[in-house]
Structure 1
Amino acid sequence: MMFDSHFLLIAVIAVTLVGLSKGGLGGAFGLMGVPILAMAVPPLQAAAIFLPILIAMDWVALYAWRHHNDRRTILLMLPGALAGIAIGWATSALVSGEAMQLVLGAITIVFAGRYFWNRLKGRGHDDGQGTRHHAGKASLWGAISGYGSFVAHAGGPPFEIYALPLKLDPKSYTGASVRFFAILNAVKLIPYIALGQLDLASFKVSLSLLPLALVATLIGARIVRRMPATTFYPIVYAMTLLAGLKLFRDGLVVFTVF
């Protein structure tokens, strides 16, 4: 792969956005990484380059948020998520990633749009108590998150649909999210290797971009640490809405006739 100025510019933007997302600034940034990098290299190659970077980012984010967590969120959602990954692996040839993106995008737009509609009506996120944990809902959205993560790299919005209404402290929410997706990415590594998506050339590129990825992750974590809940949640909901819009737009390719 040639490191021309076009590739380097695109790679810096993509890796920085994903790093900020991993640090805790919202899933929309994370969803933009591979599509942006795919402007410089083929999509499959872009995904292969990002995979080792994501794993490394997970470790940095785990260290940055090691003192913050919501164990109950993870314990309730993780079994369903692992089952969702397994189902995605078994049925990946039957359901297209675009169809999954379309459905997840529509659900996410409605979820995030409802939040902003309530704010316009004077009913903000801070009004009232958060929802209580519900094992059934956690399993359902966990399974959708795991499935969407494997099939369409879109596990963030389903996690947010369950976890955001809990109204956790921003640090606890971020710590739980970081741990949840670190586990999912580690589990996904096995089938990705089996599918032959990783090779030496892409791994070398990943290593060259790794320092920037780690710095961006730490910057994202530092920003979230200083952010009050009244600022954090509107930003995260806005990122969730953007993620939903992007998923929905990408999924519309299902109905495109060439």
Structure 2
Amino acid sequence: MTVWGWVLAAIAAASVGVAKGGLAMVGMISVPVLSLVMSPVQAAGLMLPIYVVSDIGGLIAFRRHFDMRVLATALPGAIAGIGIGWAGAHVVPAEGVTFIVGAVGLIFALNALMRPQLSGGQRQPSAARGTFWGVLSGYTSFVSHAGAPPWQVYVQPLRLSALTYAGTTTWFFAVCNWVKLVPYAALGQLSPGNLKAAAVLMPVALVAVWAGLRLVRIIPEALFYKLITWGLLAVSLRLIWQAVA
């Protein structure tokens, strides 16, 4: 890669680390940023090992802060979604999936911002909702590591505490990323070049995990959810633009 390519790769790796430290939406910029200097498929393959290694730091940090009920309702669907993504890898254009992810996130974020009274009530984990949004999250995570908006739609109304939300999100995507290693390897996305570049970038991501963890612990809970919602809005608009550009 060029110098500019390495700069963007470092930014992408740092965004992954911050996401694993608890600010999940930040990680969604990794593939779009890298796609400025390489194909989205190559960018996704380069980022996956960084996600997997960063997951270790996140899991250690949030080993006591997660909601097993939420994971139990969402993970089976997510694994099924990853399988669907693998089966249709050569059929469905990535642009279409990117647009759907952006549209779902945009609708949810606008609803939360314009009608906050509807997002203020607390829901309970649901197998039906968890499976539906889990499938969509797993599928879009497989395509472009963009599973956060569907996950957000399911989890934010549950009104978990900031640490529990961050920890549950970390555990959910850690399992998804481990599962994705198999189809990514089968599709040739874990090339030697991608693995070497990922190894160079991993220290950046691990330092960023610590930074994300510190931010989650000092940000007030109300502000935390506002930042997530605005982050979802910004990322969703970016994904829609990326899909139609």
Whether the TM-score (by the shorter chain) exceeds 0.5 is yes
Aligned to 1:55: 52
Alignment of 1:127-206 (within 5 A): 127=120, 129-206=121-198
**What TM-score, normalized to structure 1?**
0.89
Alignment of 1:1-258 (within 5 A): 1=1, 4-27=2-25, 29-119=26-116, 123=117, 127=120, 129-253=121-245
Provide the rounded CA distance (Å) in 2 between the counterparts of 1:50 and 1:136. 31
Per-residue deviation, 1:228? 1.9
Q: Which amino acid aligns with 1:108?
A: G
Provide the rounded CA distance (Å) in 2 between the counterparts of 1:84 and 1:6. 34
* Change in 2 beyond 3 A, CA 1:185/1:153: same
Per-residue deviation, 1:42? 4.0
Provide the rounded CA distance (Å) in 2 between the counterparts of 1:6 and 1:103. 30
Per-residue deviation, 1:203? 1.5
Per-residue deviation, 1:179? 0.4
Per-residue deviation, 1:40? 3.3
Per-residue deviation, 1:83? 1.0
Provide the rounded CA distance (Å) in 2 between the counterparts of 1:88 and 1:197. 14
Identity of aligned residues (%): 39
CA RMSD of aligned residues (A): 1.7
Provide the rounded CA distance (Å) in 2 between the counterparts of 1:42 and 1:101. 14
Mark the runs of 5 or more structure 2 residues left unpaired by the alignment: none
Q: Which amino acid aligns with 1:218?
A: W
Provide the rounded CA distance (Å) in 2 between the counterparts of 1:18 and 1:74. 21
Q: Which amino acid aligns with 2:176?
A: L
Tell me the secondary structure at the aligned position of residue 60 of structure 1.
helix
Mark the runs of 5 or more structure 1 residues left unpaired by the alignment: 254-258
What are the superposed Cα offsets for residues 117-162 of structure 1, whole Å, 9 maximum, x if unpaired?
124xxx485x4x4112221111110111111111333211111000
Per-residue deviation, 1:47? 2.4
Contact 2:24/2:166 (CA < 8 Å) preserved in 1? no
Provide the rounded CA distance (Å) in 2 between the counterparts of 1:147 and 1:38. 19
Per-residue deviation, 1:23? 1.3
Per-residue deviation, 1:9? 2.1
What are the superposed Cα offsets for residues 70-125 of structure 1, whole Å, 9 maximum, x if unpaired?
11000000111111111121122332111111122112111110111124xxx485
Provide the rounded CA distance (Å) in 2 between the counterparts of 1:251 and 1:221. 31
Contact 2:16/2:50 (CA < 8 Å) preserved in 1? no
Per-residue deviation, 1:44? 3.3
Larger radius of gyration between Structure 1 and Structure 2:
1
Higher alpha-carbon deviation: 89-98 or 206-215: 89-98
Aligned to 1:256: none
Contact 1:26/1:240 (CA < 8 Å) preserved in 2? no
* Change in 2 beyond 3 A, CA 1:91/1:10: closer
Provide the rounded CA distance (Å) in 2 between the counterparts of 1:209 and 1:50. 9
Tell me the secondary structure at the aligned position of residue 143 of structure 2.
helix
